[in-house]
């Protein structure tokens, strides 16, 4: 019954941007378990095809894979517009996270972070929501981060882009709700993904979750409100940072947690 209701609400196809591995692959699998077909977009074609083939075999659904860079939105838009399927669920998981001191960041990396983390989700939500509004059903999931709740030293640009996605989701949640379209931002903490392991942390931070748990909790929360913070520890942490502490104190705490990233 749960899967039938999910399919009725979110249509036949879901698009997962950044769906080749890690959290994106977890979202793809969780959506496939609910019976929807998939369109997966990612840069790394080999990983993308492997994930698509595995999910297609396991769940006997249609999986369309598109090898593309979300930084090149015009190309992504063209490829999606050429598809002969109706997409009623968007999960935007693609991200570029420049790590380190702002003074050492190149302009190219800063421009890339805004192209992937801001421009692409904004315009993709605009592109796909048009048909959702017309059909009176659909959903949009934007990946944000606890890091975006306040300034995060060593992740300053990334945190700022994630804050954008949270605010965008909140506004769209209210605007699109009368049209039958659900919107949510997932404000996640640390997630056990290949990207997290590359960040040179000696051990997982408190509240670190498996990608599958983040995906499941987020999809279960779709339609219930504009924000989901997966994990009890992360919920408490975000409440403390945003409601109990001053901005200065919150930034200081984040600095202690992100200072070791490189």
- pLDDT single digits (tens) 126-179: 999 999 999 999 999 999 999 999 999 999 999 999 999 999 999 999 999 999
In which domain, by residue range, is 132 found?
Answer: 2-258
Query: Given this model, what pLDDT does residue 210 score?
Result: 96
Query: Given this model, what pLDDT does residue 2 score?
Result: 74
Query: How many structural domains comprise the chain?
Result: 1
Residue with tokens 């992937």, as numbered in its chain: 116
CATH number of 247's domain: 3.40.50.720
**What is the arithmetic mean of pLDDT over 182-186?**
98
Q: Which tokens hold the place of 123?
A: 């315009």
Assign 190 a pLDDT band (cuts: 50, 70, 90): very high
Mean pLDDT lowest for which of 8-12, 180-184, 197-201?
197-201
Mean pLDDT lowest for which of 83-97, 115-129, 168-182, 192-206?
192-206
- With a cut of 70, say whether residue 203 has pLDDT above it: no
**What is the arithmetic mean of pLDDT over 206-227?**
96
Burial label for 48, CB within 10 Å (0-12, 13-18, 19+), is buried
Share of residues in the chain with pLDDT > 70 (%): 94
Mean residue pLDDT of the chain comes to: 93
Strand, coil or helix: what is 15? strand
Assign 198 a pLDDT band (cuts: 50, 70, 90): low
Q: Write out pLDDT tens, residues 33-76.
A: 999 999 999 999 999 999 999 999 999 999 999 999 999 999 99
Query: Given this model, what pLDDT does residue 261 score?
Result: 66
Q: What are phi and psi of 183, to 5 degrees?
A: -130, 140
Query: Given this model, what pLDDT does residue 207 score?
Result: 85
Strands (E) across 29-148 are located at: 37-42, 63-67, 87-92, 138-145
Share of residues in the chain with pLDDT > 90 (%): 88
């Amino acid at each position: 019954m749960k899967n039938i209701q999910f399919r009725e609400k979110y249509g036949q196809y879901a698009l997962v941007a950044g769906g080749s591995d890690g959290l994106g692959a977890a979202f793809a699998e969780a959506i496939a378990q609910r019976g929807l077909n998939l369109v997966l977009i990612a840069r790394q074609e080999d990983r993308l095809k492997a994930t698509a083939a595995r999910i297609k075999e396991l769940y006997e659904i249609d999986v369309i894979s598109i090898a593309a860079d979300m930084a090149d939105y015009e190309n992504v838009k063209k490829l999606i517009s050429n598809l002969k399927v109706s997409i009623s669920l968007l999960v935007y998981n693609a991200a570029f996270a420049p790590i380190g001191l702002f003074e050492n960041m190149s302009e190219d990396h800063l421009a890339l972070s805004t192209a992937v983390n801001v421009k692409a989700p904004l315009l993709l939500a605009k592109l796909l929501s048009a048909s959702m509004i017309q059909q009176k059903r659909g959903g949009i999931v934007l990946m944000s981060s606890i890091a975006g709740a306040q300034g995060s030293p060593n992740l300053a640009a990334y945190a700022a882009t994630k804050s954008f996605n949270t605010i965008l989701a909140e506004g769209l949640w209210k605007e699109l709700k009368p049209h039958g379209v659900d919107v949510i931002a997932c404000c996640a903490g640390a997630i056990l993904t290949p990207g997290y392991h590359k960040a040179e942390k000696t051990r997982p931070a408190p509240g670190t979750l498996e990608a599958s748990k983040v995906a499941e909790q987020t999809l279960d929360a779709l339609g219930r409100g504009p924000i989901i913070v997966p994990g009890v520890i992360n919920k408490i942490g975000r409440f403390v940072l945003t409601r109990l502490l001053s901005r200065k104190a919150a930034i200081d705490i984040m600095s202690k947690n992100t200072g070791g990233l490189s």
